[in-house]
Amino acid sequence: MAKYAILIYEDPAFYANASPEAWGAVVDAHNTFTKQVFELGGSLAGGEALAPTTTATTIKGAGTVTDGPFVETKEAFGGFYVVEARDLDHAVEIAKLCPAPGGGVEVRPVVDATTNPF
C-alpha cells in the first residue's frame, strides 16, 4: 500500500467563531473518519491538527524570520492525515469522508525518499 497525505484547508474564521458544541461536532466527525479509514481497508500512518496561522513563524531564504503566515489566503492549512491506501483512487475515496466543514481537502502522494519522484 502507498502513503497519501490528506491535507485539510479551511477558513480559520469557521473555527474562530465556532461554539463549543460545533467544535465538539467537528472532533466527533474526525473520530468517525479515523474509524472509516480502517472500514474502507486503509490505515492511518499519522495526522495532527495545527494551531491557527496567527501562531505561525515563517523562515525564508537566508534565514529571515517573520511572525505569521507568509501568504494571506481565505483558506489555511489546518491539519493533515497520512493514510495508507491501495492507490490514488482508494485514497480519494477515503479523503471524501474527511471532515472539512470550513473548506476542503487535498490528496497528495507521499514521496518515497529512496526514489526521485520528479
Residue 90 belongs to a domain = yes
pTM: 0.88
* Alpha-carbon dihedral sign for residues 27, 32, 37, 43: positive
Q: What is the CATH number of the domain that holds 32?
A: 3.30.70.1060
Residue 62 belongs to a domain = no
- Inter-residue contact 80 to 99 (CB < 8 Å): no
User: For residue range 34-65, what is the model confidence (pLDDT) as tens digits?
Assistant: 999 999 999 999 999 999 888 888 888 888 88
| Residue 109, pLDDT above cutoff 90 | yes
Residue 59 belongs to a domain = no
Residue 23 belongs to a domain = yes
Outline where DSSP puts E strands in 1-118: 2-10, 43-49, 57-60, 64-67, 76-85, 103-109
Structural domain range at position 22:
2-51+74-109
Number of domains in the chain: 1
Residue 37 belongs to a domain = yes
Residue 104 belongs to a domain = yes
